[in-house]
Amino acid sequence: MEPGSNILTEAARRRTFAIISHPDAGKTSLTEKFLLYAGAVQEAGSVRARAGQRAATSDWMEMEKQRGISISSTVLQFPYRDHVFNLLDTPGHRDFSEDTYRVLAAVDAVIMVLDTAKGIESQTLKLFNVCRSRNLPVLTFFNKFDRPGRDPLELLDEVEQQIGLRATPATWPVGIPGDFRGTIDRRTGEFTKYTRTARGAAAAPEEIVPAERAAEEEGAAWKAALDGCSLLDAIGADVDLPSFLAGKSTPVFVGSALTNFGVRALLDAVAELAPPPLPRVDVNDNERPLDADFAGFVFKIQANMDPNHRDRLAFARVCSGRFERGMDAECLRSGRSVGTKYATTAFGNDRETIEEAFPGDIIGLVNAGDLRIGDTIFQGKKIEFPGVPRFAPEVFASARPLDRGKIKQFRRGLEQLDEEGVVQVLRDLDFGDTEPVLAAVGVLQFEVFAHRLASEFNAPAEIVSSPYQAMRLTDKASADLMARERLEHHRVCSGFELFSRVTDARGDVVSGNTADEDLALTRT
């Protein structure tokens, strides 16, 4: 077999996708049940685990376990049927939108989870718009159907009206939200009876019931479901693969992630409907063939996943070629070689050494200190993939170390958490690193920042509000003018103050008053 054909065969087996939702719609619960049904875990974890219960695999940070929310994206690779799934669980809270947006740059498809009682919510709509801008196919899951909620036809109409996708149900409910009896597979006509499991920790038994028996046992609920299916048939709301892949329609599935119903049907749909990796386009709009030399891009940096080693992991999406551990690779931005000897594959915060990877896979590069989010790494012919989006911050605060004897740990924490993109860390010209300004999308990021400084770097800090309301990149001439106004006249220039990033464009810690990226902050 030719080397290139092996790459194409392996790439065709990959399904790389993310799950998005508004907070509390059931995204992390669905992730856990995917792992359960794929055999990747023996018992599904709980988002808010009680004593004796497993915590969610994807929520591995201590703060995530305490709060019951996802605050960092997580990579999970596992086999399912004849495929290799690369699932990226994302934070639902808007304060962590930037992390989610970066993840969406690294996937080929998305599952959108909707709470049946609430429908499309603000954060779901924002995330979907990103999916649309990236032409990502979207599967939709109406979750929590075991609880009181809205009529499914109303939800279908909302999907079409608000996000502009034709909703094509693959499964249809028998019963109403809160009185859920099961689902009809519209493609086969089979009725799967709903069975609740204790705490949803084990896979639910799936009983296929013949139509005659279903009509007898379910009565009016069965007749109403058949009427609903007839209506969908009449308007042509059937799953259409080309339309789905083109981003014009969304196959819809119904169930309850908490009680495990409908999970297997959705998992099968990922294997059958979601696209395998396709050639990626570079900054010059040229496609990189899947079987070309190895190339990929970094979309996430994570520090201290292993608290015993205080390491740093750069997550990269493989876009082309065959990655081999120990191979020679180069970072386009820096021109430096990239260490691949300690490459890993991730499963939450667990990881193991990986010998090879193919297009669609996510690899972790341990202690690759020169890599930054958005970097292209490659072997052979140079290539540059489009950068990963960065948000303009909306809130600002100052960080003050509570223990001056731990200033070294404080500075190390600033550097690493800035590299991750948890917040943007800015150096004040007067206070330097001792009282930096933090810039973020939402205030919850500051809580995470302070928690991680204390727990991971042993550098407790006080976070206090700052009198800034906007940040913009400025050129060197403007930066020099503002600095001169400040030095010569002891005043703020036109209501702006000058800052520099803690890490500059080369990724090196800035030691002077200005960097390659000078920033002007507007005072309130």
Residue ranges covered by each domain of the chain: 3-273, 280-378, 395-523
C-alpha to C-alpha distance for 323 and 380, rounded to whole angstroms = 12
Q: Say yes or no: domain 280-378 is CATH 1.10.287.1400.
A: no
- 3-state SS assignment for residue 128: helix
Q: Which of 295, 401, 412, 415 is closest to 357 using CA atoms?
A: 295
Q: Quick one: CA dihedral 458, 459, 463, 466, positive or negative?
A: negative
The whole-number pLDDT of residue 302 equals 85
Q: Quick check: 291 and 10 in contact, CB under 8 A?
A: no
Q: Provide the whole-model pTM.
A: 0.82
CA dihedral 198, 199, 203, 204 (to 10 degrees): 50
Alpha helices (H) along 19-121: 27-37, 62-67, 97-104
Sole residue written with tokens 């609740």:
196
Task: State residue 57's pLDDT score.
Answer: 56
Q: What is the DSSP letter of 503?
A: B
- 413 contacts: CB under 8 Å, gap ≥ 6: 452, 453, 456, 457, 459
Q: Which pLDDT does position 473 carry in this prediction?
A: 60
Domain 395-523 CATH (choose: 3.40.50.10800, 1.25.40.10, 3.30.365.10, 3.30.70.3280): 3.30.70.3280
Alpha helices in 113-260 (DSSP H): 122-133, 152-163, 211-218, 220-234, 241-245
Distance in angstroms (rounded) separating the CA atoms of residues 237 and 159? 13
* 107 in Cβ contact with 38 (< 8 Å): no
- Residues 5 and 464: their CA atoms lie apart, in Å, by 57
Query: Beta-strand (E) ranges in 273-389?
Result: 280-281, 287-288, 295-303, 312-320, 323-324, 329-331, 337-338, 343-347, 350-353, 356-357, 362-366, 376-378
3-class DSSP state for residue 379?
coil
CB-neighbour burial class of residue 16 (10 A; exposed 0-12, middle 13-18, buried 19+): buried
3 state SS of 373 = coil
Fold (topology level) of 3-273: Rossmann fold (3.40.50)
Dihedral angle sign, alpha carbons of residues 283, 286, 292, 293: negative
Q: Is the dihedral of CA 99, 265, 56, 195 positive or negative?
A: positive
For the chain, which ranges sit under pLDDT 50?
1, 47-53, 55, 59-60, 64, 68-71, 489-496, 504-516, 524
Residue with tokens 């059937």: 238
pLDDT at site 240:
97
Looking at the chain, how many residues does it have? 524
87 SS3 class: strand
Contact 56, 46 (CB under 8 A): yes
Decide the pairing of beta strands 109-115 and 323-324. unpaired
Query: How far apart are the C-alpha atoms of 413 and 448, rounded to whole Å?
Result: 12
Q: What is the pLDDT of residue 254?
A: 97
Phi and psi of 490, rounded to 5°?
A: 55, 45
| C-alpha triplet 155, 157, 162: angle, nearest 5° | 95
Q: What is the Cβ-side half-sphere exposure of residue 356, based on CA atoms within 13 angstroms? A: 8
Report d(CA 172, CA 253) in Å as an integer: 7
